[in-house]
Structure 1
Amino acid sequence: MIATPRLLLIAPRITETGLQLLTAARGRGLRAHTATGWSVPPELADLGLPTHLYGGPLFADAVGRELGLAVLEPPEDWPARLPVELTGRRIVHTTLAAARELSGPAFVKPPGDKAFAARVYPDGAALPGPELLPGETPVLVSEVVAFAAEYRLFVLDGVVLAASRYAVAGELDVAPLAGDPLAAAALGFAGELLRAVADGLPSAVVVDVGQLADGRWAVVEANPAWASGGYAADPERVLDVVLRAAGPAVAARPSDLAFGRALPAVLR
């Protein structure tokens, strides 16, 4: 049986991971293309190939509906659903209006995009005001903790397929797991975590974990694989996760459809 040709379409914003995935995809016989704009290139649309995507939320929203994709992402409130034993701190899914009432420091981030900087804010008054963002904007608010080291895990069917260290003491510090003294502990915690949350994530996803300054292990966050940097993870295995995370909706697993991003209608 001859395999159906497939296409990997990558957002116009060039990244190191995007280039690695182009090479990996072409090496296994996929047609891989970097878009030059925020639309499906006409010459590719005419081919009618089953398509997969790698890029940020803006690119997924621009082309996903037209390409008939299921673009999988973790629920935006996922970290807030987890017990403190897994997060190492209290996390609340709330609105920006509520977060503006904070009287002390907290780590605040928009869960689904980059509407404002994710960081520690001294209080709610330091957050973007209503003239910039509406109060109903969803946010995750967490207690402030310090991570000694952080790791990115590309997960497929509940198994870590590829991984990389990406930060030490809050600063970018990329390294492969080979030779990392904390690698075994990171993967061990990841295994426990994934067994505990098996039904709460799509089958292809990125999960970040880290060791807190006090030695405990905790979840950092979860992200869509199709929009996540691979750092020092094996690009071939990263590609396996990306292909499942953003591909033809007709081929998506029924259990994954609940995690599909709500893609806007194609504008003409």
Structure 2
Amino acid sequence: MANAVPVADFLVLPPRLDRTAEMLAESARRRGMAVEHLSSPVVPARLQHSAGGHLYGGPTFAAAVAPDLDLVPLEPADDWLPQLPYEYTHRDIALTTLGEARWSRTPMFVKPPRDKTLPAGVYVDGSRLPGDERYPADTPVLVSEIVTFLVEYRLFVLDGMVHAASRYAVNGRLDPAPLDACAHRAAVLDFAAGLLDACADSLPSAVVVDVGLASNADRGDEHWAVVEANMAWFSTSYAANPDQVLDVVLRAAGPRHRLTLRDQAFTRPPTPFPGTGRSGSSPMS
């Protein structure tokens, strides 16, 4: 079957829309982009192999539609967080497997590196981790010592600089606010500047980094630290400017022919998409 005639840049959205997707759609339309809200994770023939596709949605959706759209979602490496210098994490973090973590007999915080396949949280020991067939022993997880984040911020990073930002939590509870309205604005940007200056080459050109003011009860101190890194095309914008967020999303999941040499390291080999015989460029959720 012949390839369809390429169309102008467009944004593809999944069947279920959250508020971020709705705001990104509005922003895309304001700048003259078409918005394609799919009713299922199947790309219409008229869009297949088009030259200007972008997406916002979860990993399962991305795995289903990215091949037919010939676009490449960028994602940080699983080991990015544990590889950071201690001055940016202020806690011990290890990338391991769920099977290994189940042997631990000490309290720990456990989360998946990127996909939200496993409930992230504090576990009193490894025996409390999920053990059913949904979570095989080789599932990658990040295991860290327990710290409390007093306030947390989401940074949408583009080309090594903060392009959009928002507070999203206070004392572990959702509390979004624009960064410019926050008392910690200067401290957040100062910490982010140092982090990105030292570590930008280890991240995609478009990515989300969460940071926060952490407290360690055992040490009795407070410090700015990285919470985690996430895919921009699968991150809630909270109170960040949607036009600026869209800039990052479009770069983070865009046409393969625009992929730069530096970003090639932040793509994954295609993986089978269940039940289709096709491949996707992102892992399943």
User: TM-score when scaled to structure 1?
Assistant: 0.94
Q: How far does residue 33 in structure 1 lie from its aligned partner after superposition?
A: 1.6
Tell me how large the CA RMSD over aligned residues is. 1.5
Q: Is the 8 A contact 2:51 2:255 kept in 1?
A: no
Is the counterpart of residue 209 in structure 1 residue 211 in structure 2? yes
Partner residue of 1:14 out of 17, 20, 36: 17
Q: Distance in 2 between matches of 1:131 and 1:258?
A: 31
Q: Is the 8 A contact 1:71 1:246 kept in 2?
A: yes
For structure 1, list consecutive stretches of 5 or more residues without a partner in the other structure. Answer: none
Q: Is the 8 A contact 2:166 2:237 kept in 1?
A: yes
Partner residue of 2:202 out of 200, 203, 212: 200
Partner residue of 1:139? 141
SS across alignment from 1:44:
coil
Q: Is the 8 A contact 1:39 1:63 kept in 2?
A: yes
Partner residue of 1:98 out of 85, 100, 122: 100
Is the counterpart of residue 248 in structure 1 residue 255 in structure 2? yes
SS across alignment from 1:80:
helix
Q: How far does residue 43 in structure 1 lie from its aligned partner after superposition?
A: 4.1
Partner residue of 1:82? 84
Q: Distance in 2 between matches of 1:95 and 1:265?
A: 21
Q: How far does residue 15 in structure 1 lie from its aligned partner after superposition?
A: 0.6
User: 1:6-85 counterparts in 2 under 5 A?
Assistant: 6-45=9-48, 48-85=50-87
Q: Deviations over 1:86-107 (max 9, x none)?
A: 1011000001111001111111
Equivalenced residue count is 264
Q: Is the 8 A contact 1:65 1:265 kept in 2?
A: no
SS across alignment from 1:33:
strand
Q: Distance in 1 between matches of 2:106 and 2:10?
A: 49
Amino-acid identity (%) = 53
Q: Is the 8 A contact 2:154 2:166 kept in 1?
A: yes
Q: Deviations over 1:119-148 (max 9, x none)?
A: 111100000115442211111001100001
Q: Is the 8 A contact 1:60 1:263 kept in 2?
A: no
Q: How far does residue 49 in structure 1 lie from its aligned partner after superposition?
A: 4.5
SS across alignment from 2:137:
coil
